[in-house]
Amino acid sequence: MRRGIWVGLIGLAVVAVLLVAAMRPSPDDAAGRAGDTGVPADETMLAERRGALVDQIVVTQETDAGKITGLIQTGSHQVFAQGITSSTVFRQLRAAPRAAHDLSYGSSVELSFNPAGPRFSNGEINPFHVPAIREAFNKLVDRRHIAEEIYGGLAVPRFLALNTAFPDYARLADVARELELRYQHDPEGAERIISREMERLGARRERGRWTHDGRVLRVVLLIRTEDERRQVGDYVGNLLEDIGFQVERRYRTAEEASRIWIASDPAAGQWHIYTGGWVSTRIERDLAANFSAFYTPRGRPEPLWQAYTPTEEFDDIADRLQRRDYQSWDERQQMMADALRLSMEDSVRIWLVDQLNIWPRSTDVQLAVDLAGGMSGSALWPYTIRYRDRVGGSMLFGAPSVLTEPWNPVAGSNWIFDNMITNALQDRTVMPDPFTGLHLPQRLSGALVSVQEDIPVSRSRSWLDLEMLREIEVSDSAWIDWDAEEQRFITVGERHPDGLTARTRIRLEYEDDYLERRWHDGSRVSLADIVLPWILNFDRAKEESRLFDVAHVPTFEVFQRHFKGWEIVSRDPLIIDIYSDQIYPDAETIIAARVPAALPWHTLALGILAERGEELAFSSNKADRLRVDWMSFAAGPSIPILDRRLQTARNDAYIPYADALQPFLRDNEPEVRYAALADWREQRGHFYVGDGPLYLHAVYPVERTVVLRRFEDFPDPSTKWLDLTQPEIPELELAGPLLLRAGQEAEFTLGITFLGEPYPEEDVAGVQYLLFDGENIPAARGEAEATGPGTWTIRLSSDQVSGLGSGANSLEVAVTSHRVALPAFVSHVFATIPGPAEQAGLEP
């Protein structure tokens, strides 16, 4: 069976086409069904309504995916914030009249290895400290078995640190193909390598089991239980036992597992392998940062990442890619190819499959679902969630995990199900398009991206301007650093009296009424809400600061290497300039990566007081080191501590970093803010304040339930984002000859449509083909030619056909669109036989 990267993608595309057809709404779906909440929708009501189109959402924990169809069918639940990968549950959903679903392509499953060692603190040897053993696991696992047998065909094999459905994967097809062949399933070869390295560690295999220091080597396999990863874990456990390891299988839920693989010290040896899962919350058009994120200490502040020790070469390339330190597209592609190779040699995690996720909902519900992150990863779901036939009403969401880790906006929970909820509570300055990944303005009236000449950057959307300059000088008055002892900004003029240049500058022009908006507790937004998060980013990386967090340092160091300055150019209108050497291929992404966060300074102030007093900590890493609780603004033991800090702050009219922040406050702002927060805490029972279309009305941690309600003071009309609800993924049909003689020319016809209509040529970004011979070796590649509405032609020369030899071959085509970032794939298999001259020389 062909194991090529494009074939894997085509398998995913075929499944997707079938599912797209299955999910098209029927007339009954479009009409919706009557409900007992909300009022019938009309154009006037939609035009006048602000914020969310529903009045209340209750999110509760539901871990049994088998119940989902029944709960939707009975009307108990309207939406499930869980990507379904079970073919059984999918069949149930398709058969249920009241159930519908959306699709996403951004979930993946991997094995995370604990690399601490060579010995744990308990004295036990750790085999997975050795990179060669981790690397060999790529050959030990059969990814196709996992995709087809465990996931029932709703997944495709994945080998590399690139999501197989995102643009970078198609751009690096040749490199990926070579690596997939190198690491294809070879259990005998894998066992030889593992045995060799185990013996080098001093281990011996006795009676079929590996021993060391006279003890049987035990491997602790941490297995997630909520989904197919339970079966994946058992499959991996069986493989380990087959090659001589004693396996201890620990079955854990998300919350239980996070206390071990995320929160514990890897050197303590509580685990060896974890069945990990990741979700890209939006279409990632540039995956250059994946290598730093998944293989180096810069990826995350948790203890596991701090135990990663990549080679100097790999670390340097990963760092440069994260900073986009390249001068041309060709240089970037070569660095990506090198990083892929080195990441496989490192293999602190090995990728297993990319999943096709099914997101269940009621037929009378509509929302914007991200093509990568699905419902949970969608930034737009709270802006678009609605009943089709009415305005307002309540909905009940189910999620496999609620309140998994503590919520705080500085270094709180990174779990997708927690972030799904907090996405509704925080408004964004720019919003990712759920189908392309290109960002759109939410709180900006415009933007200008200035880039040095000869740097590969392009613009796709008209809301921003792009200019190329010979040189970009950084303003002397821009802030470039922070003095933690004197608690003041350091300007470019101070740090670089001879001047400073940057590769990019963005100028953000905010909406006229940006500073007239309200936080959920009723207090007005001020510039201090933008400045304080900026200060914290610097202060938490300074050893002389009482907020110093060693786990924040690697991430900050990456930022500091490319950051060149930050300046408030104007307050009315609000205009901010940001200088940096970091680039991205898309100008929209450059803006999204730079735009400052806005967070309510008065809630952050309580957290600052609590961490300085060593009562709580923003990050899990620092909480462990201080032996205090990881801070939560939403629930748990943090709340009474924050209560005390609120009383102190209110009595003292406390302003964090007062000298720096005071100029950005309104008159009497501390008194007004803390009074509003005290009322909020009394009414809501928590300190989580945001500015999104929904607010956190109530939290029930024991019941694993939260209640969100519509924020009536939200400034935008409810219809603002309703046009982003259906992705226009190209549908492909490839036709051509099934048999060719050597020396013949060949022509293949590709049809590109959507819902039966020709896909507009101007919306097709590219049609690339790869020709594989019978040995799975690429024989040719090129671009198809547009020859009519929705029709493209691929022509192979007689020399190309002759070069294939005799046997089965494959023509594989990738289509990219300006309307969606998800590539579409199709394949055509044909055979080649000798021509007349060649036949004459054959034996009879």
How many CA atoms are closer than 13 Å to the CA of 464, on its beta-carbon side? Answer: 30
Q: How far apart are CA 698 and CA 675, in angstroms?
A: 20
Q: Are residues 348 and 220 in the same domain?
A: yes
Do 652 and 740 reside in the same domain of the chain?
no
Residues 6+ apart with CB under 8 A from 832: 739, 740, 741, 742, 801, 804, 805, 806, 807, 809
Distance, CA of 492 to CA of 196 (rounded, Å): 55
Backbone conformation region of residue 670, classed left if phi is above 0, alpha if psi is from -120 to 50, else beta:
alpha
DSSP letter (8 states) at residue 23: H
Shared domain for 593 and 736, answered yes or no, is no
Q: Which residue, of 659, 691, 723, is where some domain finishes?
A: 691
777/671 same-domain check: no
Residue 697 belongs to a domain: no
Residues 502 and 604 in one domain: yes
Q: Is residue 829 part of a domain?
A: yes
Say yes or no: 612 and 466 in one domain: yes
Residues 802 and 658 occupy one common structural domain? no
Give the range of the structural domain holding residue 522, as residue numbers without chain letter. 427-691
Q: Which residues pair with 468 in a beta bridge?
A: 451
Query: Are 523 and 449 part of one and the same domain?
Result: yes
Q: Is residue 205 part of a domain?
A: yes
In-domain check, residue 818: yes
The answer to whether the beta carbons of residues 98 and 26 sit under 8 Å apart is no
Residues 747 and 680 both lie in one domain: no
Is 580 within the bounds of a domain? yes
> At 295, which CATH number?
3.10.105.10
Residue 106 and residue 385: Cα distance in Å, rounded?
A: 21
Same domain, 659 and 767: no
- Report helix angle 553-562 to 528-539, nearest 10: 110
Three-state DSSP string of 731-759: EEEEECCCEEECCCCEEEEEEEEECCEEC
Strands 616-617 and 629-630: parallel
Task: For helices 669-684 and 638-652, give the axis angle rounded to 10 degrees.
Answer: 150
* Residue 714 domain flag: no
Three-state SS across 437-473? CCEEECCEEEEEEEEECCCCCECCCCCEEEEEECCEE
Does a structural domain hold residue 517? yes
Same-domain check for residues 680 and 759? no
Residue 25 lies in a domain: no
* pLDDT score, position 727: 85
**In this structure, what DSSP letter does residue 550 have?**
G
**CATH code of the domain in which 778 resides:** 2.60.40.1930
Which residues of the chain carry a pLDDT beneath 70? Answer: 1-43, 836-844
- 758 and 833 housed in the same domain: yes
Give the pLDDT confidence score for residue 596 in this predicted structure.
95
Which residue from 840, 823, 835 is spatially nearest to 156, judged by alpha carbons? 823
What's the domain count of the chain?
3
Boundary residue ending a domain (663, 691, 719): 691
Residue-wise pLDDT for 602-653, tens only, equals 999 999 999 999 999 999 999 999 999 999 999 999 999 999 999 999 999 9
Question: Measuring CA to CA, which residue among 267, 294, 299 is closest to residue 114?
Answer: 267
pTM, entire model: 0.77
